[in-house]
Chain A
Amino acid sequence: MLLVELHNLEKSYGSVLALRKLTLEIPKGTLFGLLGPNGSGKSTTLRILCTLLEPDSGTVTVAGENVLKNPRNIRSKIGFVAQEVAIDKILTGRELLQLHGDLYHLRRNYRDKRILEMIDRLDMAEWIDRRSGTYSGGMKRRLDLAAGLLHEPELLVLDEPTVGLDIESRSKVWSLLRELHTEGTTILLSSHYLEEVDALSDQMAIIDSGKVIAQGSPSELKKELGNNRVTLKVREFSNQVEGEKVRQLILGIRGVHDVVVNTSQGFSLNFFADDSDSLSKMRSDLNEAGFGIFSLSESRPSLDDVYLKATGKTLMDAELEVSSKRDFKKEAKQSMR
């Protein structure tokens, strides 16, 4: 059963197209990871789902209800943990949770019981009655999680939940999400960390330039690529022309596919080989054509390879590319309501 259905979402900020006909379906009970570089449209998607933003076109359905028509009903079913941790510094953690409970219309004794549960579960007892202005990043994030979970939402939405967190806080967040998942909560999280999506999610989608370019379970997506991920260098410092020549050469070998010249790694060749026969064929073919082998490494395919295959660039490159184009002031204004 699908809990969330986003169909053909389009959204632009001025002349910038943030979402291009994005379609995403999230089954109930999954821990769904949304992977993509910064600026790919992850936050925009989540903000639309949480009724903070209206799409230019497209439909949003949660638990069978039209979110755009009846946002209020949906809000009580969703717990949203936003990327920017905005808390009222002058209030204590407990007071903030009480405020949240009241805004979600929890009955007072139930609210206080839930707060105690959350304090216990997220290990916040030591500092919950201190003013939140004194909290570290990890503490704030835990408080935010508690606030998002207080009203027992059917769907927990997290925007980059571990960005900027220390390792200890990160692992706390991860284990909490895993627990919630086993208990049956549907979780949607966005991340630009490959390991995070790989480690946590059972379903995922890769999003790039405002649309979904691959979807499935992390292991399925990786399996589709073949058994071996190979990185080949014919010389230590190669160039575009030579790289392209080698690409053409090995493209014809049976069992070799998805050959890409990786410009960010000294024009090395990245490809997938189905078996060892295709690799030995490649060696002899290269030898015949007069190319040497400077280095050859094999590994299991990773999510980065899935991304590379779909977009022709690594996630890191995509990240660098957008980071030079991003206007953070403008983005801050966009998220202001």
Chain B
Amino acid sequence: MNTTFSTSSSLNKEETPLNQFLQEVSALTKRLFLQLIRRPSTLIAGVLQPLIWLVLFGALFANAPVDFLPGGMEYGRFLGAGIIVFTAFSGALNAGLPVMFDREFGFLNRLLVAPLRSRSSIVVSSVIYISTISLLQCFAIMSAAFFLGYGWPSEGGVFLVFLTLLILVFAVTALSLGLAFILPGHIELIAVIFVTNLPLLFASTALVPISFMPAWLGWLAAINPLTFAIEPIRAAYSSSTGLGSVLIQAPYGDINGYGCLLILSLLTIGLFLVTRPLLNRKLI
């Protein structure tokens, strides 16, 4: 059996760099999905948790006065957008954990001794994986909200929901992967996730509008990235407001839907630019 002589036919040399890159990305993505399918508990919990939020939190304010929210909106309908964004945010914030475990167990070394066309395939596969899960979770929440009588996005609204979510997920995944490469271990990463998660939820418009908040918290909510994702999605659920209308009445001025998406996109680009050198330091 001939096993040792390196022949040029053995490698995909005639393939273009792009094809090699795609081969890496699909192999790494496949690994992540195999893990998910064989250990589905995270996905099941990831879908159940937001549904519980939606039901319990929705019920908490079910008997609020009719003009409780601006425009007489039902609380459950108001809350839906917040839960969708918060779920996607938490999921993406955890994106760094598998990479951190790969670092700790030495599996990452396996990837790093391989002649990867670009080591960003490790990042891309994580983004694909997290995005898919987020969209699945989002779809589950939207369906649940529909059956609870909280409505369904207007025409083109579903597209807007998914677009907004993806931009947010890219940003947070970049952040989390960056952290996974600079923090010393998973304990520290989990600590960061823990400290970031709930405060960002409460200091956003996920649960109540800015008008409810004391001035200082209103300021925080008006610069919180979650708010910029929540409001366009909320608009997608409303028949009267479009992307052109003012969605955030921030202390520093009014922002419409396009403004929200622009700010979110700039944040994503910024985070990828900041994270890049962190990744490159480890991933030459």
B residues adjacent to A (C-beta < 8 A): 1-7, 9-12, 15, 20, 23-24, 26-28, 30-31, 34-35, 38-39, 103-117, 184, 282, 284
Contact = CB atoms under 8 A, between A and B. Distances in A.
Contact of A121 (B1, B12, B31, B110): B1
A80 interface: yes
B101 to A, nearest CB: 10
A78 B38 CA distance: 32
12 contacts: A51-B113, A80-B113, A99-B31, A103-B116, A121-B3, A149-B3, A151-B10, A152-B7, A153-B6, A180-B3, A180-B4, A337-B112
Contacts of A71: 284
Interface in A287-313: none
B115 A86 contact: no
Interface string A85-112: 0111011000100111011111100100
A76 interface: yes
B10 to A, nearest CB: 5
The residue among B1, B6, B104, B115 with the most chain A CB atoms within 10 A of its own CB is: B115
Nearest to A104: B114
Contact of B106 (A76, A82, A151, A184): A82
The residue among B6, B15, B39, B108 with the most chain A CB atoms within 10 A of its own CB is: B6
A114 B7 CA distance: 13
A86 B3 contact: no
Interface of A: 50-52, 71-73, 75-78, 80, 82, 84, 86-88, 90-91, 95, 98-100, 102-107, 110, 114, 117-118, 120-121, 131, 147, 149, 151-154, 180, 183-185, 333, 335-337
A88 B5 contact: no
A154 B6 contact: yes
A333 B184 contact: yes
B4 A184 contact: yes
Nearest to B10: A152
Nearest to B39: A90
B3 A337 contact: no
Contacts of A184: 4-5
Contact of A336 (B35, B38, B103): B103
Contacts of B10: 106, 110, 114, 151-152
A95 B31 CA distance: 8
The residue among A78, A99, A151 with the most chain B CB atoms within 10 A of its own CB is: A99
A266 to B, nearest CB: 42
A336 B105 CA distance: 8
A105 B104 contact: no
A76 B34 contact: no
Nearest to B104: A336
A113 to B, nearest CB: 10
Contacts of A78: 113
Given A76-B11, A91-B31, 15 more contacts: A52-B112, A71-B284, A76-B115, A86-B105, A90-B39, A95-B31, A103-B115, A105-B23, A105-B115, A107-B15, A152-B4, A154-B6, A336-B106, A337-B108, A337-B109
A184 B5 CA distance: 8
A109 to B, nearest CB: 11
Contacts of B282: 337
A131 B39 CA distance: 13
Contacts of A147: 110
B26 A102 contact: yes
A91 B34 contact: yes
